Amino acid sequence: MVKWEGEWEVVGNRFNQDMSISEFLEFMSLTMGIETDNWELRAIFTNHLPSPHPTIMHYYSARYVSGEITPPEDCTHIGWFRKDEAMEAIPYPILKEILNAIHENPKTLITGKGRVYWIKME
């Protein structure tokens, strides 16, 4: 997981480059200093954020091959987490639900949609 804007999250990035998804996944791994393989699509969720267009989130699993992880440029920390540690560190209930569904259904593609609301705290 990576720490981004003060919160622990699963590793992710915006896919807007002119490359295949498999090339992009390899690029993401190399950005963190590691090599991975055996990528499997595990979940697809459409999130309607407070913006004009929905975001489609793809969740993949992969096998670690080699390397020492280093945080990507825009993150402050990176680390390997056991599932129970990840559930404790992640602040977003929907992300916890997605990860639990992936973990509990290893041979199933998980799909869904949701709406995210921003609440200003004063």
Mean pLDDT by 10-residue block, N- to C-terminus, for the chain (122 residues)? 92 87 94 95 85 85 95 90 95 90 91 66 58
Q: Per-domain residue ranges for the chain? A: 2-115
pLDDT score at 16: 82
Task: Please state whether the predicted TM-score (pTM) of the whole model is above 0.85.
Answer: no
* Domain boundaries 2-115, corresponding CATH code: 3.90.79
For residue 30, the model assigns a pLDDT of 94
Task: Please give, one letter per residue, the 3-state secondary structure of the chain.
Answer: CEEECCEEECCCCCCCCCCCHHHHHHHHHHHCCEEEEEEEEEEEEEEECCCCCCEEEEEEEEEEEEECCCCCCCCCEECCCCHHHHHHHCCCHHHHHHHHHHHHCCCCCEEEEEECCCCCCC
